[in-house]
C-alpha cells in the first residue's frame, strides 16, 4: 500500500498525472491528497506534529470518510437504457381511421388526442340510444300514473287484486326496459369515447402502426395501433454474473452514469436471461433530468 501511494520525489507539480502511479490514484486531484496529509512532491506527510503521527491506515480511513467506499471500490458494468414503462394504445372498436395526430418520436401530454376512428357510426348510435331512453321515460310515466291509480282504487276496494297485480307488472316491465335502454345509452357513449385514442400519460411515441384511411377490425384480435413510452423514469439494463448478483437485491441503491452525468438509481429486478443462462439481467430504475432516450449507453456502478 505504501508503494501505491508513493510519489516520485523528483516529479514537479505539473507532472502529477505523468507519473507511473496506479490509475485509481490519478483519478483524484492533487489537492485532495495534500488535504489528506501528503506533500505535493513527495509521498511523505506534510510536516506538523499531528500529521507526522498519522499512519497510512488512518489516512486511508480519512479518504473513505471523504468519498465513501464506492468511488474507490465500485465495479463498473456497461448497460443500455430502456423505457421503464411502455403502453400499447388501441381500441375495441372496428372502423376506418379518419385522423392521426402524431408521428414516431413526438412528445405528448396526458390525454392528448393521438388518432380517431370515423365517429359518424358512433354518434348515430348515441343519438338512437338517447331517443330510445326519452321514449321509454315517457312510457314509464304513463304506466306509473296507471299503477298509482290502481293502488288508490284497490285501497277503496273498487279494484280487484288481479287488476292491481296487472298494473304492478306493467310498471315493473316498463322500469326494467328503461334501465336496459339507459345501459345501452352508456355503452353508446363509451363507444364514441373509444373511437378516440388518447395518451394515458405524458410520454414519447415509440411506434405507430396505422395510417389515415385504413380500416381496423378488432372483433377477434385487437390491433396494436400506437405505442407510447412514459417519460421521466428509465431503466439501465445490464448483464451480470451470479457472483455479482450475490451482493445485490431489489430496492438497493446504485449509481447510474450516462454521458458524464450521475443518477441515483434503485434495483428494480434481477432475473435470468433467455439466451445465456450463465448471466443474469439487472435493471436499475432512475429518474432522468431530460434528453435521455432508450438505446443510449450507460454505466452502472456495483459497490462491493
Domain boundaries, the chain: 2-67, 75-84+230-302, 120-194
Least confident of 11-15, 84-88, 223-227, 246-250: 11-15
Give me the pLDDT at residue 75, please.
86
- The pTM (predicted TM-score) of the whole model is 0.64
Place of cell 506538523: 48
Q: What is the mean pLDDT of residues 86-108?
A: 94
Q: What superfamily would CATH give domain 75-84+230-302?
A: Efflux pump adaptor protein, beta barrel domain (2.40.30.170)
Residue 304: pLDDT band (50, 70, 90) is: low
Report the half-sphere exposure of 219 (CA within 13 A, side-chain side). Answer: 3
**What is the per-residue pLDDT across 37-75, written as a single tens digit (0 to 9) for each?**
554 444 444 455 444 444 444 554 445 444 444 444 568
Residue 232 confidence (pLDDT) above 90: no
Q: What is the mean pLDDT of residues 13-19?
A: 45
Question: How much of the chain, in percent, has pLDDT values that exceed 70?
Answer: 75
Dist CA 119 CA 96 (whole Å): 9
- Identify the burial level of 12 via C-beta atoms within 10 angstroms of its C-beta, where 0-12 means exposed, 13-18 middle and 19 or more buried: exposed
157: alpha, beta or left, given left = phi > 0 and alpha = psi -120 to 50? left
Dist CA 253 CA 266 (whole Å): 5
CATH number for the domain whose boundaries are 120-194:
1.10.287
The answer to whether 205 and 104 are in contact (CB under 8 A) is: yes
Least confident of 1-10, 102-111, 142-151, 256-265: 1-10
Amino acid at each position: 500500500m505504501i508503494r501505491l501511494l508513493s510519489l516520485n520525489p523528483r516529479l514537479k507539480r505539473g507532472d502529477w498525472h505523468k507519473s507511473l502511479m496506479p490509475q485509481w490514484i490519478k483519478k483524484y486531484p492533487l489537492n485532495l491528497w495534500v488535504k489528506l496529509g501528503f506533500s505535493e512532491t513527495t509521498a511523505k506527510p506534510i510536516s506538523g506534529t499531528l500529521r507526522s503521527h498519522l499512519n497510512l491506515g488512518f489516512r486511508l480511513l480519512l479518504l473513505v470518510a471523504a468519498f465513501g467506499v464506492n468511488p474507490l471500490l465500485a465495479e463498473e458494468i456497461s448497460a443500455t437504457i430502456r423505457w421503464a414503462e411502455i403502453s400499447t394504445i388501441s381500441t375495441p372498436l372496428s372502423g376506418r381511421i379518419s385522423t392521426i395526430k402524431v408521428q414516431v418520436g413526438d412528445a405528448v401530454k396526458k390525454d392528448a388526442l393521438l388518432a380517431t376512428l370515423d365517429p359518424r357510426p358512433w354518434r348515430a348510435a348515441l343519438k338512437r340510444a338517447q331517443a330510445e331512453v326519452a321514449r321509454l321515460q315517457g312510457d314509464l310515466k304513463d304506466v306509473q300514473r296507471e299503477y298509482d291509480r290502481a293502488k288508490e282504487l284497490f285501497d277503496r276496494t273498487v279494484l280487484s287484486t288481479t287488476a292491481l297485480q296487472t298494473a304492478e307488472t306493467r310498471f315493473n316491465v316498463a322500469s326494467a326496459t328503461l334501465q336496459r335502454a339507459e345501459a345501452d345509452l352508456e355503452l353508446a357513449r363509451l363507444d364514441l369515447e373509444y373511437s378516440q385514442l388518447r395518451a394515458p400519460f405524458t410520454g414519447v411515441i415509440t411506434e405507430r402502426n396505422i395510417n389515415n384511411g385504413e380500416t381496423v377490425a378488432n372483433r377477434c384480435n385487437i390491433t396494436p395501433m400506437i405505442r407510447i413510452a412514459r417519460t421521466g423514469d428509465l431503466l439501465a439494463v445490464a448483464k451480470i454474473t451470479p457472483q455479482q448478483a450475490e451482493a445485490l437485491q431489489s430496492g438497493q441503491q446504485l449509481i447510474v452514469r450516462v454521458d458524464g452525468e450521475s443518477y441515483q438509481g434503485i434495483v428494480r429486478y434481477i432475473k435470468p436471461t433467455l439466451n445465456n443462462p450463465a448471466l443474469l439481467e439487472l435493471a436499475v430504475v432512475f429518474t432522468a433530468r431530460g434528453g435521455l432516450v432508450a438505446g443510449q449507453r450507460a454505466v452502472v456502478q456495483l459497490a462491493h
